[in-house]
Structure 1
């Protein structure tokens, strides 16, 4: 599917075929495309928990407003962010960059993030959102559908997936084969309300 078509046709699908399974090659392709996403300082803050265990999915569904996508979608990812990715061997994020770029950016990361917890969280959530959106468009281009989920108890889901310290959950993402078409697009605000030139 052409990228423009995937962007226009991507919808948040609520009903998935619970019998459908992705092949290993399809899963590998989805992740390969996902990690092409941008991230600040190339720190790749995102962490994906691919929840395959049916009983664990059922437990997550119980703290996610009983949303059927949690158990019925072929894939369920808990999309997380490592807030301390900037500390963890930052030289590896630039190992293929020219030496002058490495010399500039690797030391700068610490100065940029240190002592700024809000920025660390913002950057983590941004990166996690980038990868989730790439996955949604990639899934659509592959002929599948998706649904980002925020209607869940993050504390309980964190316990269930054993979220490490200094990590946060940005969203969950269900991907699979839809069984019902989405309702018509509900509508857009006027472009004049969202697009400004130079200043508000």
Structure 2
């Protein structure tokens, strides 16, 4: 009876741990904690080292650690690597800080928007797109294709949301596979 009880206790603990972990996905090989803010979680993602370096260079760490709430479309390292040669290096130069801030804030929206909320707005619109403003002032558009949500910049470039609804203490991150470039 003691073995059955211990097995039941262990199984229950495993289910609780799995359920708690299932609430927020792993990103870049690291657990994302709802109790941590956007920056505290992003620095642990191996897939977001370029984004973190850019946020630091732009002086946006304190902003993205504030109460928010913010919705961040977070490009992975491969998205930055896909930009034309030299783009990231150029943006990271101190003399280009204003341009870097513009690019990064084009990935941030005020509020805490789940992928389901964004998708519902897109599906309900007459043209199939939900248009909204980024913190940069640029217009972003969301569209649902099949089971995927795509976020478009003003030039029509699309980033697919690859990991949605990574909840943070000050908002939510949606991982995207492309850099959204403001005009």
**Fold match by TM threshold 0.5:** no
TM-score (norm 1): 0.23
Larger % of helix: which?
1
TM-score (norm 2): 0.25
